[in-house]
Structure 1
Amino acid sequence: MIVRIVRMTFKPENTEAFLDIFRSSKEKIRAFEGCNHVELLQDVKNPNVYSTYSLWVSEEHLNKYRDSHLFGQVWPATKALFAEKPQAWSHVPVKI
């Protein structure tokens, strides 16, 4: 399993536009092959900072999504709203 976290800072005036994009695409992303979960998180102190938290079966599934038509629609529209460059991390759970 891959845990993917993407932190995005939006221009304050663009947050509603981003939320509209997320609302209209979240179910499509959740339905993408290999995606087990997607949720949106808002920073406690910075209301224009959001993170997506998603769970993927494998890195290959995540990469298929990143190469997909859906991502090609969602990401450029989202990227146009940023105030800063996004940060992204991929993790695997550690069994101890």
Structure 2
Amino acid sequence: MFVRIVKLSFAEENITSFLANFETVKEKIRSFEGCQLLELYRDKHNTNIFFTYSYWNTEDDLNNYRHSELFKGIWAETKPMFNAKPEAWSVDKLESLK
């Protein structure tokens, strides 16, 4: 399984807009071909910092999403809200204990 972790930091005044936009697009992202899971986390202490975790069948599936019109629209809406450069990691899931 291929996992994408993205750290997003927003200006305080943009958090409500970000969350509202995420609410409208989350099902579209999750239903994109190859996406198996989408999660949104908020830092406990720095509440302007969020993380998305998405699980993909393959790296190609993620790349197809990243080059899609859906992603381009989401990114155009989200990018002006940042107060720091986003960071992203692509990792292979090795183990998961439940």
TM-score (norm 2): 0.94
Counterpart residue identity of residue 52, structure 1:
T
**Map of 1:7-18 to 2, 5 A cutoff?**
7-18=7-18
Counterpart residue identity of residue 66, structure 1:
R
Alignment deviations for residues 14-58 of structure 1 (CA, whole Å, 9 cap, x no partner): 000100110000000000000000011000111111010100000
Q: How many residues align?
A: 95
Alignment deviations for residues 49-68 of structure 1 (CA, whole Å, 9 cap, x no partner): 10101000000000000000
Q: CA RMSD in A?
A: 0.8
Aligned to 2:85: 85
User: Aligned partners of 1:48, 1:93: CA distance in 2, in Å?
Assistant: 27
List gaps (5 residues or longer) in structure 1. Answer: none
List gaps (5 residues or longer) in structure 2. Answer: none
Aligned to 2:75: 75
**Map of 1:15-94 to 2, 5 A cutoff?**
15-94=15-94
Off by >3 Å, runs of 4+ in structure 1: none
Identity among equivalent pairs (%): 48
Counterpart residue identity of residue 5, structure 2:
I
Counterpart residue identity of residue 29, structure 1:
I
CA displacement at 1:76 relative to structure 2: 1.5
TM-score (norm 1): 0.96
Classify the secondary structure of the residue corresponding to 1:51. Answer: strand
